[in-house]
Structure 1
Amino acid sequence: MRRISHSAKADPMDAERRKACLQWGLLAAWPTGLPARAADARRIVSVGGALTEIVFALQANADLVGVDTTSLYPESAQKLPSVGYARSLSVEGVLALAPTQVIATEDAGPPAVLRQLSAAGIPVAVLAANHRFEGLIERVRHVGALTGRAARATALQQRLQQEWAHARAQVTRRMAGPAARVLFVLAHAPNQILVAGTDTSAQAMLEYAASANAIDGFSGYKPLTPEAVIAAQPDIVLLTDQGLKAAGGVTGILKLPGLGQTPAGHKRRVIALEAMLMLGFGPRLPAAVSALHAAIEMAMRA
């Protein structure tokens, strides 16, 4: 990006952004005293771990100047400046990085912050979540266009199609017996234990892994209740690695009300996968489906 100084040639876009910052009372956030920026240089802020993975997969990571806290993979993404949690962004934090493009998922927010960023002249692209393989393919296309890597996006789409076909074939070959009933528990905070119903990324992953969601009476995520867990009678309890750790491991999870009275509790069938791998629907989706199905099959044989 370029230094703001009286001697520098006026940049109409910079002027518009400064005007918007004044309107929102954010001029203090406007970066100054920074190196000059080439006119065509990209400065991308990625809000959403799966989107960040796509940027890296397209080899556009040199253009990244900031990411959110869910951008944990690859590990080098964690070395980039953070704009905080995707759902609680601040205008100041994003503007301080002087981005030329913000790429975000539908989970990003709050909406007022995204509106303020747009008003400050920052292009903000909010991509549909669409927790299906087809949604991943579409996001790769969009990110390829936004980062100027359309040809690499096409190549990545083709590779993902091949990996997906292989993963699905693996699931079909491994299938043995009736589908396992799996309860997905979101337990990243001790005081907020949720279970996944329909219309969730967890539900979609279970379907791809040839398993059944033990909860089908509601959509989205709702607080865990003993009555619902006992009625669901899951064969397996599924968490993220982070959630399992936060809950105190397998022993801690099985202490949650109702879980001890289920087949999963009796046989201590608790499995976990890394959060963004399992729920992110990024470029690792084929590997995630294979890993989840293998883990479920192994647990059912235990």
Structure 2
Amino acid sequence: MIGRRVLLAGGAAVLAAPARAETPHRIVAVGGAVTECVFALGVGDRVVAVDSTSRFPAAVRGLPQIGYMRALAPEGLISLNADMMLLSADAGPAQALAVLRAAGAPIRSIPEVPTGDGIAAKIRAVADALEVDGRPVADTVLADWQSLDAPIAALRPVRTIFVLSASRGAPLVSGAGTLAAAMLAAGGAQNVVSGYNGYRPLSAEAAAQIAPEAVVIMDHVLQEIGGIDALLAVPALAVTPVVRTRRVLAIDGSYVLSFGPRAAHARRDLAMLLHPGAPLPALPARAWT
């Protein structure tokens, strides 16, 4: 076994983690926003592996992949000999995290709060774990985010639904308590799906009642469905005003929904898709965008 050993304790196999160095130099980043934070803080060269949701910046594409953040395998993680594992609070499953903690793995859970203050807190949490100064990046991202608050609040909210998938008939749409719902609100949209948290199929009857003006969907999902015509042919969407307006807004999910260092710019881009020509302030290009 490379870089790890198996200890028997109480009849169960427990993975032994490597000793923690004073300053982390071998970092595993789990969660797209977490990975972006590491690179924005200038220590991306220390990252030795990332999960499949980590797609930015381009440098991550050549790094070893550990799989999906909600389906982590503890043995594979331990074998990387990391001296810091930065895990999104959404990472899992719980059993895998329990094994890692029992092994003494150097885990730091990073909070996921989809607000301007939450993004700044996320950046600071990553910086604290890596023993670097996160205030310049966190403060700049928060200032950019807040500069959009009043201009977007002055816009008429667009009645919108977020479609996660539609390949099996009824589209799966976002209710409350999701990153999609949070970004829709931040971008000047009214999520007209209400009454539940998470994602559920949308019936034609419910779609006709809520009458969305626009559909937001991830670009790769729209492509898999077969494009706008195929999407609007789905019975639940065929009864909505979107059939006439064709306001289907394709987004890069890893950009718009990550709530990381690029979040303020993503918020503005989404708001401009929803409100073409809106007088929103331009945001300066940042080193991490």
| TM-score of the two chains, using structure 2 as the length reference | 0.86
Secondary structure class of the residue paired with 2:221: helix
Pick the aligned partner of 1:148 from 123, 126, 131: 131
Specify whether residues 65 and 20 from structure 1 end up closer, same or farther in structure 2 by C-alpha distance, changes over 3 A only: farther
Aligned pair count reads 276
Residues 227-266 of structure 1: CA distance to partner in whole angstroms, max 9, x if unpaired?
2222210000001112212222112211222201111122
- Equivalent residues of 1:188, 1:246 under 8 A apart: no
What corresponds to 1:19 in structure 2? 7
Secondary structure class of the residue paired with 2:215: strand
1:130 is the counterpart of 2:118: no
- Equivalent residues of 1:101, 1:123 under 8 A apart: yes
Name the larger-Rg structure.
1
Residue 236 of structure 2 aligns with an amino acid whose one-letter code is: G
What corresponds to 1:162 in structure 2? 143
Structure 2 counterparts to residues 59-78 of structure 1, below 5 A: 59-78=42-61
- Equivalent residues of 2:114, 2:259 under 8 A apart: yes
Residues 55-75 of structure 1: CA distance to partner in whole angstroms, max 9, x if unpaired?
000011121111000000111
List, as ranges, runs of 4+ consecutive aligned residues in structure 1 with deviation greater than 6 Å. 20-23
Q: Larger % of helix: which?
A: 1
Cα RMSD after superposing both structures: 2.8
Residues 121-144 of structure 1: CA distance to partner in whole angstroms, max 9, x if unpaired?
212222222111111111111100
What corresponds to 2:239 in structure 1? 261
Pick the aligned partner of 1:206 from 162, 184, 196: 184
How many angstroms does 1:38 deviate by? Answer: 7.4
Q: Distance in 2 between matches of 1:76 and 1:21?
A: 40
Secondary structure class of the residue paired with 1:258: helix
What corresponds to 2:266 in structure 1? 288
Secondary structure class of the residue paired with 1:135: helix
Residue 142 of structure 1 aligns with an amino acid whose one-letter code is: A
Secondary structure class of the residue paired with 2:275: helix
Secondary structure class of the residue paired with 1:298: coil
Percent identity, aligned pairs only, is 33
List gaps (5 residues or longer) in structure 1: 5-13, 32-36
Residue 62 of structure 1 aligns with an amino acid whose one-letter code is: D
Specify whether residues 191 and 47 from structure 1 end up closer, same or farther in structure 2 by C-alpha distance, changes over 3 A only: farther
- Equivalent residues of 2:116, 2:142 under 8 A apart: no
How many angstroms does 1:282 deviate by? Answer: 0.6
Residue 84 of structure 2 aligns with an amino acid whose one-letter code is: Q
Secondary structure class of the residue paired with 2:65: coil
Residue 125 of structure 2 aligns with an amino acid whose one-letter code is: H
Specify whether residues 38 and 171 from structure 1 end up closer, same or farther in structure 2 by C-alpha distance, changes over 3 A only: closer
What corresponds to 1:84 in structure 2? 67
Structure 2 counterparts to residues 1-302 of structure 1, below 5 A: 18-19=6-7, 24-25=12-13, 40=23, 42-149=25-132, 151=133, 153-171=134-152, 175=155, 178-187=156-165, 193-298=171-276
How many angstroms does 1:188 deviate by? Answer: 8.0
List gaps (5 residues or longer) in structure 2: 279-289
